[in-house]
Structure 1
Amino acid sequence: MLRYFHDNGLVKIEERVPENWEEAIRFSAEVLKDKSLITDEYVNQVVNDVKEYGPYIVIIPGVAMPHSSAENQGVLGTGIGFTIMPETVSFEENNPEKDAKLFFMLAAKDSEQHMQNIANLSELLMQDGMVEDLMQIKTLEDFESVMNKHNM
């Protein structure tokens, strides 16, 4: 799956430090927007969903999976974008369990593709040492080293 991000230009090592979680979501959306897979309408819905339902997108400490429903008009295609923030972003004050540095923005045209995206991402993150290795990435060369180490 790391090769998917790399070969499709869907990985970004973010240099800007987001002021808050909302800005982090917007930064993480840029990769999919650049590939014309989502629009601002989708990104706004993701932000609104977090405001309404809380930080459900932080799936494990350090990892966020921003997404909204496949029915959203702002979804133009299916894909996952991967953005590594320069610093950890807090979604909930005084709760490090809801901090994230790795952002996997999902977009899917239907619920079947959405579930497949989640399954693929889960498989990636469950590999021994994967999250720890991804957290250490500072450059595209670092990313390529992790990709080669995990043969992905």
Structure 2
Amino acid sequence: MSTILPKNQIQVIETLNNWREAVKLASEPLLKQKLITQDYIQAMIDSVEEYGPYMVIADYFALLHARPGEGVNQQSMSLLVVKEPIDMKAKPVKIFLVLAAKDNQSHLDSLQSIMDVFMDTQKYETILEGNKDKITRLFNEGGEKK
């Protein structure tokens, strides 16, 4: 099984000025690999501007996405953990997970695997702590059968 969230698509930083910068930085690894285009990043930002912080689905956690297919060259995900919470339309966020889907279906298995990690309180705390090596291990051991 391929890695759901490779190490080069996980970033941990101390702080950022605003949520827009966080969306851009979180998307950067996917953009560099041409998995998504600038259009997809802009679509995510526009979505938050238009509909508010609906992507904040748990404490400190935003699942960033836009309409499937638009600006997505290949299904992919990236993760940004910011140690200082960033205000996203009155919601504090530390974890920015970018989900780039090609269609309405194919990403669901990957999303389920990722959410299994986030739903585990201990693993969630590990992610919030912002240790990149530990975070990388969380996402790269769960995918393979032991």
Short-chain TM bin: 0.7 to 0.9
Give the number of the structure with larger relative contact order, counting CA–CA contacts within 8 Å between residues 6 or more apart. Answer: 2
Cα distance change, pair 117–69 in 1 and its aligned pair in 2 (3 A): farther
For each residue in 1:31-71, what CA deviation from the matched residue of structure 2 results, as whole angstroms up to 9, or x when unmatched?
A: 21122111111000000000111111111011111100113
Provide the aligned length of Structure 1 versus Structure 2.
141
Distance 1:31 1:134 in 2: 18
* Distance (Å, rounded) in 2 between the aligned partners of 1:52 and 1:11: 27
CA contact (8 A) 1:106 1:117 kept: no
More strand per residue:
2
Deviation of residue 23 (structure 1)? 1.2
Alignment match, 1:143: 135
Give the aligned partner of residue 16 of structure 2. 18
Letter in 2 for 1:56: Y
1:76 to 73, 78, 84: 73
SS in structure 1 at match of 2:99: strand
Residue type at the aligned position of 1:88? P
Question: Which runs of 5 or more residues in structure 2 are unaligned?
Answer: none
What is the alpha-carbon distance in structure 2 between the residues aligned to residue 65 and residue 129 of structure 1?
19
- For the Cα contact (< 8 Å) 1:62–1:102, is it kept in 2? yes
Alignment of 1:3-152 (within 5 A): 4-6=4-6, 9-15=8-14, 17-72=15-70, 74-93=71-90, 98-138=91-131, 140-144=132-136, 147=138, 151-152=141-142
Provide the TM-score with structure 1 as the length reference: 0.81
Asked whether the equivalents of residues 127 and 135 of structure 2 are also in contact (C-alpha less than 8 Å), the reply is yes
| Distance (Å, rounded) in 2 between the aligned partners of 1:31 and 1:63 | 19
Task: Percent identity, please.
Answer: 25
Q: In 1, are the aligned partners of 2:126 and 2:134 still within 8 Å (CA)?
A: no
Q: Structure 2: which amino acid aligns with 1:25?
A: V
Q: Does the residue aligned with 1:112 lie in a helix, a strand or coil?
A: coil
**In 2, Cα distance between the equivalents of 1:141 and 1:115?**
26
Structure 1: 5+ residue stretches without partners: none
- AA partner of residue 147 (structure 1): L
Conserved in 1, the CA contact under 8 Å of 2:123 and 2:138?
no
